[in-house]
Structure 1
Amino acid sequence: MPPTPASSGSARPASVINEEIRALVEDGGAGSDAYLELLVEWAAAQRSEGLRSDVTEAA
């Protein structure tokens, strides 16, 4: 069995990060470093939450 990659998932829910992204965009911050960092964090949270829901559904 292949080794399990280290989890670097977000500690915050994707919905919380999404709200920060929306606020930043409304303030004209799309394309800023903060925006890009939030996008990366949001994507990690989405993957993490998706994995958890798959496990829950399978159980």
Structure 2
Amino acid sequence: MSTNSPTPGSVRSAAALNEQIRALWIRSGGYLSAQERIEYELLVVQWAAAVQEEIVEAA
């Protein structure tokens, strides 16, 4: 997994997480290993939470 994982309690924007997801796919050549799949799933969960938070803040 990537070494730039956030520390517990840190918050990243949806845009920053989206960029990490895109970079992961580019780095992997479009085929994720088992470890990359775990990283991807964690990033997607974090991205979804960040999107929800941004929506709540905008409301």
Which bin holds the TM-score, normalised by the shorter protein?
0.5 to 0.7
Which residue in 1 is equivalent to 2:12?
12
Which residue in 1 is equivalent to 2:40?
35
Aligned alpha-carbon RMSD (Å): 2.2
Supply the distance in 2 between the matched residues of 1:20 and 1:32 (Cα, whole angstroms).
13
Number of aligned residue pairs: 46
Q: What 5-or-longer segments of structure 1 have no aligned partner?
A: 1-9, 55-59
Report the alpha carbon displacement of residue 27 of structure 1 after superposing the two structures with TM. Answer: 1.6
Supply the distance in 1 between the matched residues of 2:49 and 2:15 (Cα, whole angstroms).
12
Query: After TM superposition, which residue ranges in structure 1, 4 or more long, deviate above 3 angstroms?
Result: none
Normalised TM-score (structure 2)? 0.68
Q: What 5-or-longer segments of structure 2 have no aligned partner?
A: 1-9
Normalised TM-score (structure 1)? 0.68
